[in-house]
Amino acid sequence: MQSGTAREAIGRILKPRSVAVFGASEDKGKFGGRILHYLMKHGFEGRILPINPNRSAVNGIPCFADIKDVPGPIDVAILAVPQDRVVTSLQGCAASGVGAAIIVTTGFAEANEEGARVQDEFVALSRASGMRLVGPNCMGLINPNHNLALSSSLVLDVPKLQRGRIGLISQSGALMVAMYNRAEDAGLGFSACVSLGNQCDLEICDFFDYLIGDPETSVICMYIEGLKDGRRFRSLAEQARTAGKPVLVVKTGRTEAGVKAARSHTASLAGAYEAFEAVCRDCGVVSLDDPDGMLLLADMLVRFGPPRGDGIGVFSPSGGGAGIGVDRVSEAGLRLAELSPSTRAKLATLLLPPQADNPIDLGGRLAPDVPGTAAKIIDVLAGDPDVGASLIMLTTTPRYEAASAEIADAFVAAGKPFVLAVMPGSAADGVRRVLWDARCPFVDRVDDAVRVLEGYMSLTSGSGAARPPARPAGLPGAAAELRGPLLEHEVKDLLRAYGVPVAREELCASADAAVAAAEAIGYPVAMKVVARDLIHKSDIGGVRLDLVSAQDVRAAWEGIVASVGQKAPGCAFQGCLVSEMVKWQDELIVGVKRDDQFGPMVLVGFGGVTVELDPDTAIMPAPVDPAGAERLLRRLRRFSLLDGYRGRRKADLGSLADAVARVSWLACDHGERIVELDINPLVIRADNGRPVAVDARAAVVDP
């Protein structure tokens, strides 16, 4: 069994006192040679232990023919050896008590079945010996704060490792070193960079857990291809939020369909990536689509901490630059700061009346271009209480380099967050050098600036520990025993038990019983076929609406029986549901889906038969409380239809949110049993705006 926790093992890996390098040589054209070179070049202070049976010394360091010959403890061994030597090398490491091995070699589970078999072999060795593994198929790791470069990548051929407070975990080795290089060019520093490869032992959540507790890390960045344990990721994300450490992720698979065989609307609308994104949103994790944007946002968070307000101030030496900045801020859904009367009055002593507000056009100065004027204006703008961050659109301007330095120094001195976009091309190369020397962050594209501001402001309300949702009153004390498949009326009985409003109806086995039910419910009524094998009842003529008399009911019964017999002769016909005809103004879908990674997810959206033609849906991890359900509803594009658009009756939002919350608890209470559940439609009554479930179905697996 492995000794110690994963966090303890990772601490030993990232801050080793001794490192053994398999395949070490003087030849920097070989992996082992470059790894040894970078360890020495960047001043690793621990013991460096070259392993090579053909050398007695490498670069003046004594070399060992076999790992078993090394005296004293060995914290980490890094293996960049041929595939057929990996297992024997690991066996030697395990026998020598090596704490952890980093396997750079490729050709294992990512390659073919034989590679997977060999990988399983050394995983078993790890489990038996307690030696932890990173990789295989990885690019190693970098810890600049401890002068540790355990990688063969050429991006490490720099004078000095950039120290910092950004922790980076990547499932792609090539992408990790690419991000490291981009950050190096931008002057961004890391507390740790880790490439995981196949994650045969230590995986992304192990390193995530470590960085949450690492005092040298302020912001955690991750490139994710897939998670081994989605629920653990979610739990760790909550821990990071409680610890005040922002988490930023870029994940591949944004365009995956998720569930290939869509057995319900919910399954087809809530795919795998959508579930991941919903979990991130719920836990305060910022999901981005670009590694550069992730690193730029991380640097902003390291420099300024989390946002303390959501108002954006826009500043430019040019009216055109200011106008573009305002448009882009608005188009991104960000809020332009509203300057106070006091701020505007101060600006009016420095700027012409049209420019004495947000956005600031420096070209509208009252006085000539005198050094110090820009700094005064910036001090006033940044000092306004509604300005949480500023967007600077740096165009050309007289005294370009000197004026740019003044602008940069003033925003840095103001102490409030800002993003600076250098808009010209090579004409601004001198300005870029000035900004670099002033340690002022900048980007070259307006898109990058806006992307960073979007991510930054998304954290406005995401700090602190989240309170778990409270269980609504009146729910069943214990989950009912379910055996699938469930018929529509059985699903509705379950909904009723959870306090979800359901239309009045009765299951009937004959035309006479249907007439009696219709008269008890009150005309008009609807009639729907009940059969375990039918999903889309209307497609086979199994639905009749607006029945206003006993004659209508009998004719509808006969028509449904005939149509089902003709179009679905093999179905198990069990009768018809006679239901009240609800006068409604909006059709919604409310559903749940069990995600393989994260468990139950609740979905809301505008529904009906066109739900898949024009999807307008939003999802969230279950369970939710009514407040969370209302936030979910407000994310719908057409939410204004529920909120009294153009004089329409407002939906009873409190009752609707309560119904969504109850459905989410139903899903959680039945754990792995309910795979999917749809209420489609859940209609909003025209007379009182309250919700009522009209149709429902569920996919249930037996225990």
Domain boundary among 557, 580, 603: 580
**Residues for the chain: how many in total?**
703
Residue 478 to residue 491: CA distance in whole angstroms? 17
Domain boundary among 457, 491, 526: 457
Identify the residue with better confidence: 257 or 46. Answer: 46
Residue 263 pLDDT more than 50? Answer: no
Q: Are residues 546 and 561 in the same domain?
A: yes
Alpha carbon of residue 92 to chain centroid: 41
Query: Residue 46 domain-assigned?
Result: yes
Task: Give the per-residue pLDDT at 532.
Answer: 79
Residue 125 to residue 213: CA distance in whole angstroms? 29
Angle (deg, nearest 10), helices 204-213 and 230-243:
10
Amino acid present at 430: G
- Beta-carbon count within 10 A of 408 CB: 24
DSSP H or E run through 164: strand 163-170
Residue 556 to residue 544: CA distance in whole angstroms? 6
Amino acid present at 337: A
Query: Residue 302 domain-assigned?
Result: no
Query: Is the preceding omega at residue 291 within 30 degrees of 0, hence cis?
Result: no
Task: Give the per-residue pLDDT at 193.
Answer: 98
The domain containing residue 125 runs over which residues? 6-254+289-297
Residue 164 pLDDT more than 60? Answer: yes
Task: Please check whether residue 262 is in contact with residue 219, taking contact to mean a CB–CB distance below 8 angstroms.
Answer: no
Q: Are residues 340 and 207 in the same domain?
A: no
Cα torsion through 38, 41, 42, 43, rounded to 10? 120
Residue 326 to residue 344: CA distance in whole angstroms? 18
Q: Are residues 64 and 151 in the same domain?
A: yes
Give which of 151, 159, 152, 218 is closest to 190, Cα–Cα: 218
Number of domains in the chain: 4
Residue 95 to residue 97: CA distance in whole angstroms? 6
Please, which residues bridge with residue 611 across strands?
none
Residue 181 to residue 171: CA distance in whole angstroms? 17
Residue 43 to residue 38: CA distance in whole angstroms? 8
Task: Give the per-residue pLDDT at 56.
Answer: 93
Q: Are residues 626 and 680 in the same domain?
A: yes
Q: Are residues 230 and 108 in the same domain?
A: yes
- Beta-carbon count within 10 A of 114 CB: 10
For 264, counting Cβ atoms within 10 Å of its Cβ (0-12 exposed, 13-18 middle, 19+ buried), the class is buried
Note the pLDDT tens digit of each residue in 408-434: 999 999 999 999 999 999 999 999 999
For residue 652, CA distances in Å to 73, 126, 166, 387 come to 68, 58, 46, 36
Residue 230 pLDDT more than 90? Answer: yes
Please, which residues bridge with residue 149 across strands?
142
Task: Please check whether residue 127 is in contact with residue 1, taking contact to mean a CB–CB distance below 8 angstroms.
Answer: yes
Question: Region 678-687: what's the mean pLDDT?
Answer: 94
Please give the backbone phi and psi of residue 239, each rounded to the nearest 5 degrees, phi first: -65, -40
Give which of 142, 211, 208 is closest to 180, Cα–Cα: 142
pLDDT band at residue 460 under the 50/70/90 scheme: confident
Task: Give the per-residue pLDDT at 270.
Answer: 43
Q: Are residues 574 and 588 in the same domain?
A: no
Note the pLDDT tens digit of each residue in 241-261: 999 999 999 998 776 443 333
Residue 504 to residue 525: CA distance in whole angstroms? 10
Query: Residue 355 domain-assigned?
Result: yes
For residue 115, CA distances in Å to 18, 84, 171 come to 30, 10, 18
Query: CATH no. for residue 394?
Result: 3.40.50.261
Query: Residue 279 domain-assigned?
Result: no
Could you give the percent of the chain with pLDDT greater than 90?
Answer: 82
Query: CATH no. for residue 641?
Result: 3.30.470.20
Give which of 590, 577, 576, 579 is closest to 683, Cα–Cα: 590
DSSP 8-state code for residue 443: B
Q: Are residues 575 and 588 in the same domain?
A: no
Residue 461 pLDDT more than 80? Answer: no
Query: Residue 468 domain-assigned?
Result: no
Query: Residue 550 domain-assigned?
Result: yes
Task: Please check whether residue 617 is in contact with residue 587, taking contact to mean a CB–CB distance below 8 angstroms.
Answer: no
DSSP 8-state code for residue 587: E
Residue 480 to residue 486: CA distance in whole angstroms? 13
Note the pLDDT tens digit of each residue in 168-201: 999 999 999 999 999 998 889 999 999 999 999 9
Q: Are residues 637 and 679 in the same domain?
A: yes
Note the pLDDT tens digit of each residue in 48-82: 999 999 999 999 999 999 999 999 999 999 999 99
Task: Give the per-residue pLDDT at 316.
Answer: 96
Query: Residue 88 domain-assigned?
Result: yes
DSSP 8-state code for residue 569: T
Q: Are residues 538 and 627 in the same domain?
A: no
Residue 279 pLDDT more than 90? Answer: yes
Beta strands (DSSP E) in 410-464 are 418-422
Could you give the percent of the chain with pLDDT greater than 70?
Answer: 95
Q: How many CA atoms, within 13 angstroms, populate the side-chain half-sphere of residue 44?
A: 24
Task: Give the per-residue pLDDT at 349.
Answer: 95
Task: Give the per-residue pLDDT at 404.
Answer: 95
Domain boundary among 442, 457, 472: 457
Residue 262 pLDDT more than 90? Answer: no
For residue 222, CA distances in Å to 283, 307, 624, 642 come to 15, 21, 27, 38
For residue 484, CA distances in Å to 267, 535, 700 come to 17, 14, 5
Output the six-digit token pair for 683: 């209609």
Q: Are residues 446 and 397 in the same domain?
A: yes
Query: Residue 268 domain-assigned?
Result: no
Contacts of 203 (CB under 8 A, 6+ apart): 196, 228, 229
Query: CATH no. for residue 159?
Result: 3.40.50.720
Q: Are residues 598 and 566 in the same domain?
A: no
Q: Are residues 31 and 180 in the same domain?
A: yes
User: What per-residue string of b and e applies to 296-307 under the rule 16 or more CB within 10 Å gives b?
Assistant: bbbbbbbebeeb
Identify the residue with better confidence: 532 or 680. Answer: 680
As a whole number of Å, the CA-based R_g of the chain is 32
